[in-house]
Amino acid sequence: MPIIAQSLSRLFEQSPKCKRLNVAKAHTFPVITHYALSEKYQDYAEKILNCSNDIKIRVSIDIQKDSVSSRSSIENARWCRVRQCPMCGLARSSKMRARLFKGFSNYQLDENAYSFLTLTIRNCLLSELRVSINDMAKAWDRLTKRRTFPILGYLRSLEVTMQRERMPWDKKKNTGPPVRSDSGELMAHPHFHIVLHTESGFEKHLKDKQWLVDLWTQSLRSDYRPSISIDKIRPRNGDFEKSLLETCKYTTKPGDFADDDPSTHVSKKGYEPLSIYVPHGAEWLYGITEQLHNLRAVRLGGTFAEICPQSVLDKIDDSCEGENPESQLGCLIRLIWNDSFCKFRVVDDEPID
């Protein structure tokens, strides 16, 4: 392998993108195991097993004032396109982000016109998740049609997490055992992440959170007040890019498909870890597979749909492929998954164009 290609390969192997690929591939193994044990989903297991084991990536050097790093893009991979495959999930989110960044690259962002909103509902039974998501979507449509909700456009994504108990050492996140209903069923926490393009004067509502809670409660037609969060986006500080990244991340956490191992619940303050093995991965995976079948996780509206059409994101969602033509910049390197090292390794004899 030429010296330049070797340098690019080493840079890429140390890059965050390579680490994300390794983590995503490792997350596929519990999913494969659970699907393989189910007669209904065995073909999914075979597809994920053969997903993206051999990847070609275009890598170039990105030289900044104080650092040298690698810029990379996946140019060729065999995606299985199974909805719950962690590798395909990573590909979808990466390509959606790239398309949105491209669309906004030449767009003049108003410093006072964007907010990041999270809308929730009461946690629901896993078996009732689809109904709850549909109710949320209808409520969102009602909310956007209100004259008192002055928005010009939005990017909305769905995220579903497993409801877990709050452990003594947890301050912000619930990382304990799964919460179950009185009937023993797993509980789900669906919520929307939304980047809002708002009309002038909307920023005054950022200090009146209860106003928005009232609107969301009325739109849901619920008998309880759901929790929400909203923050101002400051494009000059990089908040807009961060909000796009947050909105286009995974729909479900790949780690939730693995059963809880007691060794993973070690406290930073010396609390006792969980003493029992908690099997729930297969139950959660089968439920999510059924409940999220054919549901679109990302939606665009208003000015956002003008910058990036919904059809473009739908195509990425279906095929895991973007619309960018192949670049001739940089070098083409080949990665092959190595089970012994549990990571992708660069193949030295790959021809470099």
For residues 15 and 325, give the distance between their C-alpha atoms in angstroms, rounded to a whole number: 23
* E strand segments, 128-218: 151-162, 187-198
* E strand segments, the chain: 54-63, 68-76, 114-120, 124-125, 151-162, 187-198, 228-232, 298-302, 331-338, 343-346
For residues 112 and 200, give the distance between their C-alpha atoms in angstroms, rounded to a whole number: 8
- pTM (predicted TM-score): 0.87
Of the two residues 239 and 350, the one the predictor is more confident about is 239
Which of the four pLDDT bands, split at 50, 70 and 90, describes residue 64? Answer: low
State whether residue 345 is helix, strand or coil. strand
For residues 133 and 144, give the distance between their C-alpha atoms in angstroms, rounded to a whole number: 17
For range 262-282, the mean pLDDT? 56
For residue 316, pLDDT over 60 is answered with yes
Which of the four pLDDT bands, split at 50, 70 and 90, describes residue 110? Answer: confident
For residues 199 and 150, give the distance between their C-alpha atoms in angstroms, rounded to a whole number: 6
Q: Dihedral, CA atoms, 310, 100, 140, 198, nearest 10 degrees?
A: -120
Q: What does the angle CA 348 – CA 351 – CA 353 come to, to the nearest 5 degrees?
A: 130
- Report the residue count for the chain: 353
* Confidence (pLDDT) at 269: 45
DSSP state of 271: P
State whether residue 114 is helix, strand or coil. strand
Each residue's pLDDT tens digit, 139-193: 999 999 998 898 999 999 999 999 998 877 777 778 788 999 999 999 999 999 9
For residue 79, pLDDT over 70 is answered with yes
Which of the four pLDDT bands, split at 50, 70 and 90, describes residue 272? Answer: very low
User: Rounded to a whole number, what is the distance in angstroms from the first to the last CA of the chain?
Assistant: 11
* Confidence (pLDDT) at 48: 97
Residue owning tokens 């693995």: 258
DSSP state of 239: H
Which of the four pLDDT bands, split at 50, 70 and 90, describes residue 4? Answer: low
User: What residue type is assigned to position 4 of the chain?
Assistant: I
Domain segments of the chain as ranges: 1-79+323-353, 96-320
* Confidence (pLDDT) at 54: 95
- Written as six digits, the tokens of 43 are 């073909």
For residue 348, pLDDT over 80 is answered with no
Each residue's pLDDT tens digit, 325-347: 555 567 888 999 999 889 999 88
| CA-based radius of gyration for the chain | 22
Residue 181's Cβ-count burial label (10 Å; 0-12, 13-18, 19+) is middle
Q: Choose the most confident range, by mean pLDDT, from 59-73, 77-91, 272-286.
A: 77-91
| Residue % of the chain over a pLDDT of 70 | 86
| Pairing status of strand 68-76 against strand 114-120 | unpaired
Residue owning tokens 């690259």: 105
For residue 253, pLDDT over 60 is answered with yes
For residue 255, pLDDT over 60 is answered with yes
